[in-house]
Copies of this chain bind each other. A is one copy, B any other.
Amino acid sequence: MRVFDNKLRWCLTCLLLSLTVFFPARPVWAAEPIKVVYHVADGVEQAARALLNIRNHLQAEPNTKIVVVALSNGVDFLVEGATLKSGKPFEPSVATLAAQGVEFRVCNNTLHGRDIKPASLLLESKIVPSGVAEIARLQAKEGFAYLRP
């Protein structure tokens, strides 16, 4: 009986240790900052909406990690000199958000297909091979939420 008690005790300790290792207080991901990918693909009006959304997002949740993936007509706002129809330039908003940690990733397929020179992009842009593959990868492999502004 004594031996059994001892074994049971060890067994339970073991289980408890496992639980501590696998479920530390709350699941790790619950404490991590939220990560979100913004899918921008429809031209400068949608891009302006996206930037406004992101400003509001960071104001409400400053810890959020935000990555903008731009493809198709969605890359236009990241070309140097891009403006809204009203004439308002995009560059200052992009610079401000980049300074807050927002990343801007541009689809290389789009650059090729639309013959846009990488040198013409704002310095804040980073080129990725495929915009859609990047959006899927961020969701599937890095736990990003998805938003289509």
Contact = CB atoms under 8 A, between A and B. Distances in A.
Interface of A: 7, 10-11, 13-15, 17-19, 21-22, 30, 34-36, 39, 41, 49, 53-54, 56-57, 59-61, 64, 71-72, 107, 109, 129-133, 135-137, 139-141, 143, 145-149
Nearest to A110: B56
Contacts of A136: 34, 36, 57, 61, 64, 145, 147
A84 B19 CA distance: 54
A60 B46 CA distance: 25
Contacts of A147: 39, 132, 135-136, 146
A149 B7 CA distance: 58
A34 B140 contact: yes
B13 A133 contact: no
Contact of A56 (B17, B109, B146): B109
A148 B61 contact: no
Contacts of A39: 147-148
A30 B57 CA distance: 29
B132 A30 contact: no
A135 B145 contact: yes
